[in-house]
Amino acid sequence: MAAAPKSMHRSSSRPQLDVSGAAIQGNLEERDPSILLPNQSDDISHLALDIGGSLIKLVYFSRHADHSNNDKRKKSLKERLGISNGNRRSYPILGGRLHFVKFETRKLNECLDFISSKQLHRGGIDLHTWHSPDDNAIIKATGGGAYKFADLFKERLGVSIDKEDEMDCLVAGANFLLKAIRHEAFTHMEGQKEFVQIDHNDLFPYLLVNIGSGVSMIKVDGDGSFQRVSGTNVGGGTYWGLGRLLTKCKSFDELLELSQRGDNRVIDMLVGDIYGGMDYSKIGLSASTIASSFGKTISENKEPSDYRPEDISLSLLRMISYNIGQISYLNALRYGIKRIFFGGFFIRGHAYTMDTISFAIHFWSKGQAQAMFLRHEGFLGALGAFMSYEKHGLDDLMAHHLVERFPMGAPYMGGMIHGPPLGDLNEKISWMEKFVRKGTEITAPVPMCPPGTTGVGGFERPSSKGDTLRSDASAAFNVGVLHLVPTLEVFPLLADPKTYEPNTINLSDHSELEYWFTVLSEHMSDIVDKAVASEGGTDDAKRRGDAFAHAFSAHLARLMEEPAAYGKFGLANLLELREECLREFQFMDAYKTIKQRENEASLAVLQDLLMELDSMSEEARLLSLIEGVLAANIFDWGSCACVDLYHKGTIIEIYRMSRKKMRRPWRVDGFDNFKERLLGSGDEKPKTHKRALLFVDNSGADIVLGMLPLARELLRRGTEVILVANSLPALNDVTAMEIPEIVAEAAKHCDILRKAAEAGGLLVDAMVNIQDGAVENYASAPLMVVENGCGSPCLDFRQVNSELAAVAKDADLVVLEGMGRALHTNFNARFKCDTLKLAMVKNQRLAEKLVQGNIFDCVCRFEPAV
Ligand SMILES: CC(C)(COP(=O)(O)O)[C@@H](O)C(=O)NCCC(=O)O
Ligand SMILES: [Mn+2]
Digit-coded pLDDT (tens) for 150-164 = 999 999 999 999 999
* Cβ 170 vs Cβ 184: under 8 Å: no
User: What pLDDT is recorded for position 422?
Assistant: 65
The model's pLDDT over 733-756, given as tens digits with 9 standing for 90+, comes to 999 999 999 999 999 989 999 999
Provide φ and ψ at 18, rounded to 5°: -105, 105
Q: Which residue has the higher pLDDT, 446 or 119?
A: 119
Question: Which ligand 1 atom is nearest residue 637's CA?
Answer: 11
The model's pLDDT over 561-594, given as tens digits with 9 standing for 90+, comes to 888 888 999 999 999 999 999 999 999 999 999 9
Alpha carbon of 793 to ligand 1 centroid (Å): 8
* Strand pairing class (290-292; 192-196): unpaired
* Cβ 694 vs Cβ 736: under 8 Å: no
User: What pLDDT is recorded for position 565?
Assistant: 86
Q: Which residue has the higher pLDDT, 544 or 134?
A: 544
pLDDT cut 70: percent of the chain above it? 81
Number of Cβ atoms within 10 Å of the Cβ of 127: 17
* Cβ 167 vs Cβ 379: under 8 Å: no
User: Residue 84's pLDDT band (boundaries 50, 70, 90)?
Assistant: low
Q: How far is CA 535 from CA 1, 79, 488, 527, 539, in A?
A: 14, 37, 31, 13, 10
Is 575 close to ligand 1, i.e. is its CB under 6 Å away?
yes
Q: Which of 180, 118, 115, 113 is nearest to 141 (CA)?
A: 115
User: CB under 8 Å to 24, separation ≥6 — which residues?
Assistant: 33, 34, 35, 36
User: Residue 389's pLDDT band (boundaries 50, 70, 90)?
Assistant: confident
Alpha-carbon gap, residue 558 to 556, rounded angstroms:
5
Is 519 close to ligand 1, i.e. is its CB under 6 Å away?
yes
- Cα–chain center distance at 260: 31
Question: Which ligand 1 atom is nearest residue 640's CA?
Answer: 18
Reading phi first (left if > 0) and then psi (alpha if -120 to 50, else beta), residue 336 is in: left
Q: Whose CA is nearest to atom 14 of ligand 1?
A: 639
Best residue for ligand 1 mutational test, from 842, 844, 858 (most atoms within 8 Å of Cβ): 842
Q: Which of 320, 365, 321 is nearest to 339 (CA)?
A: 365
| pLDDT for 828 beyond 60 | yes
Question: Which ligand 1 atom is nearest residue 732's CA?
Answer: 8
Q: Which residue has the higher pLDDT, 237 or 136?
A: 237
Alpha-carbon gap, residue 515 to 845, rounded angstroms:
9
Alpha carbon of 145 to ligand 1 centroid (Å): 50
User: What pLDDT is recorded for position 474?
Assistant: 39
Alpha-carbon gap, residue 368 to 135, rounded angstroms:
54
User: Residue 436's pLDDT band (boundaries 50, 70, 90)?
Assistant: low
Alpha carbon of 788 to ligand 2 centroid (Å): 14
Question: Which ligand 1 atom is nearest residue 824's CA?
Answer: 3
User: What pLDDT is recorded for position 839?
Assistant: 98
Half-sphere CA count of 696, side-chain side, radius 13 A: 37
Is 699 close to ligand 1, i.e. is its CB under 6 Å away?
no
Question: Which ligand 1 atom is nearest residue 636's CA?
Answer: 8
Task: Out of 385-394, 454-463, 610-619, 683-692, give the one with best mean pLDDT.
Answer: 610-619
User: What pLDDT is recorded for position 284?
Assistant: 72
Half-sphere CA count of 636, side-chain side, radius 13 A: 26
Rg (alpha carbons) of the chain, rounded to whole number: 30
| pLDDT for 445 beyond 50 | no
Alpha carbon of 638 to ligand 1 centroid (Å): 5
Is 654 close to ligand 1, i.e. is its CB under 6 Å away?
no
Helix or strand run (H / E) with residue 205: none
Alpha-carbon gap, residue 530 to 539, rounded angstroms:
14
User: Residue 426's pLDDT band (boundaries 50, 70, 90)?
Assistant: confident
User: CB under 8 Å to 515, separation ≥6 — which residues?
Assistant: 845
Question: In whole numbers, what is the pLDDT of the chain averaged over residues?
Answer: 83
Q: Whose CA is nearest to atom 16 of ligand 1?
A: 639
The model's pLDDT over 779-790, given as tens digits with 9 standing for 90+, comes to 789 999 999 999
| pLDDT for 64 beyond 90 | no
The model's pLDDT over 623-652, given as tens digits with 9 standing for 90+, comes to 999 999 999 999 999 999 999 999 999 988
| pLDDT for 286 beyond 80 | no
The mean per-residue pLDDT over the stretch 309-313 comes to 96
The model's pLDDT over 448-491, given as tens digits with 9 standing for 90+, comes to 223 332 222 333 333 333 333 443 333 444 688 899 998 999 99
Is 691 close to ligand 1, i.e. is its CB under 6 Å away?
no
Tell me which ligand sits closest to the C-alpha of residue 819: 1
